[in-house]
């Protein structure tokens, strides 16, 4: 009887802790230059060679109804308007990366000149896999041995700014409630204006009926079209009355240089709500 092997394929999507341990990507967001060219640095931190694949898919970060971060890959309307995935290529697209080595992947986008001004984007999906030796010995009866091939996928974003780009933000409405005990939940519905995503930071301040600050928070923001964002605050002493919340959005964040971000004037939104 010939030896047969059972291949156990495990696909683990965005297991951040382990993926970052074996593979690191830089930068965290790739901005292509005016010629549509950019570089992605892929580093193998593991002790074994990794087979790397580069793919592209239009998508953007969002939140579901419960405020959980999700990736939106099914927006076909905006994919036609702002998708970069059909016009960008990676060189090389597949390669073997030895242990403790780095590979520069060149990205090149060729956009039709007839396309409107704006920021086009896509998700870069970097897959990595390494094979390990057979686990144990083959079963004498079945002739089956087991080989494990772990596959991981890490996703970052690539942007290409064409022509005159601009962005802005509008909060359409906000709702507040006490979830459990002293946890204040603030749901906010937004609309991005302009022809580019709003990437930056929001600072939020909560004041009680006496004007005392009872809650503060800062959060990095990546808002693309329309949606809802949920913010939570711990308020030690909740009393009945009319509270206020003030948002201040700015197009600045620590992980992306300001010169890469599409800039906008700071935007402030204020709202009042009653807790009973």
14-42: pLDDT as tens digits: 344 444 468 899 999 999 999 999 999 99
The confidence score (pLDDT) of residue 5 equals: 39
Helices (H), 90-232: none
The confidence score (pLDDT) of residue 179 equals: 72
CA within 13 Å, CB half, 273 = 18
First to last CA, the chain: 76
Cβ atoms of residues 252 and 262 within 8 Å:
no
Cβ atoms of residues 146 and 125 within 8 Å:
no
The confidence score (pLDDT) of residue 266 equals: 96
DSSP 27: S
219, 264, 263, 227: which is closest to 60 by C-alpha? Answer: 227
Q: Kindly compute the dihedral angle of the four CA atoms of residues 194, 34, 200, 176, in this order, to the nearest 10 degrees.
A: 30
Distance CA 42, CA 46 (A): 12
The confidence score (pLDDT) of residue 239 equals: 80
Rounded to the nearest integer, the mean pLDDT of the chain is 87
The confidence score (pLDDT) of residue 140 equals: 58
Cβ atoms of residues 10 and 148 within 8 Å:
yes
Q: Kindly compute the dihedral angle of the four CA atoms of residues 174, 78, 106, 108, in this order, to the nearest 10 degrees.
A: -140
Q: Is the confidence at residue 77, as pLDDT, over 60?
A: yes
201, 218, 209, 194: which is closest to 266 by C-alpha? Answer: 201
203, 191, 202, 51: which is closest to 130 by C-alpha? Answer: 51
Distance CA 23, CA 261 (A): 26
Lowest-pLDDT choice from 75-84, 117-126, 129-138: 129-138
Lowest-pLDDT choice from 11-20, 103-112, 136-145, 164-173: 11-20
pLDDT band, residue 130 (cuts 50/70/90) = confident
> pLDDT digits over 241-267, tens only?
899 999 999 999 999 999 999 999 999
Cβ atoms of residues 104 and 25 within 8 Å:
no
208, 214, 219: which is closest to 235 by C-alpha? Answer: 214
* Better pLDDT: 235 or 90: 90
Q: Which token pair is 256?
A: 């992306």
The confidence score (pLDDT) of residue 18 equals: 46
The confidence score (pLDDT) of residue 131 equals: 56
The confidence score (pLDDT) of residue 184 equals: 87
Q: Is the confidence at residue 159, as pLDDT, over 90?
A: yes
> pLDDT digits over 166-219, tens only?
999 999 999 998 877 778 889 999 999 999 999 999 999 999 888 999 889 999
List domains and CATH numbers for the chain: 4-162 (2.60.40.10), 167-275 (2.60.40.2550)
């Amino acid at each position: 009887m010939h030896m047969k092997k059972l291949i156990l394929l495990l696909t683990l999507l965005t297991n951040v802790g382990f993926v970052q341990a074996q593979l690191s990507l830089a930068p965290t967001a790739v901005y292509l230059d005016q010629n549509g060219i950019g570089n992605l640095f892929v580093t193998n931190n593991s002790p074994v060679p990794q087979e790397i694949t580069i793919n592209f898919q239009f998508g953007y970060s969002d939140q579901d109804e419960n405020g959980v971060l999700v990736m939106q890959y099914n927006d076909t309307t905006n994919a036609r308007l702002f998708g970069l995935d059909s016009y960008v290529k990676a060189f090389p697209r597949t390669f073997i990366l030895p242990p403790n080595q780095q590979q520069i992947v060149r990205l090149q986008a060729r956009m039709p000149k007839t396309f409107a001004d704006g920021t086009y984007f896509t998700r870069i999906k970097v897959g990595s896999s390494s094979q390990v030796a057979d686990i144990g010995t083959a079963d004498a009866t079945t002739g089956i041995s087991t080989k494990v091939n772990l596959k991981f996928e890490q996703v970052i974003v690539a942007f290409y700014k064409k022509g005159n780009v601009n962005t802005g933000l509008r909060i359409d409405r906000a709702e507040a409630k006490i979830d459990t005990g002293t946890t204040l939940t603030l749901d906010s519905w937004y609309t991005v204006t302009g022809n580019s995503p709003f990437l930056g930071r929001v600072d939020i301040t909560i004041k009680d009926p006496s004007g005392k600050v009872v809650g503060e928070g800062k959060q990095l923001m990546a808002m693309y079209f329309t949606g809802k964002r949920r913010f939570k605050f711990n308020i030690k002493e909740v009393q009945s009355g009319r509270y206020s919340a003030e948002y201040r959005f700015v197009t600045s964040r620590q992980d992306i240089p300001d010169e890469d971000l599409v800039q906008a004037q700071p935007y402030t939104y204020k709202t009042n709500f009653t807790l009973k």
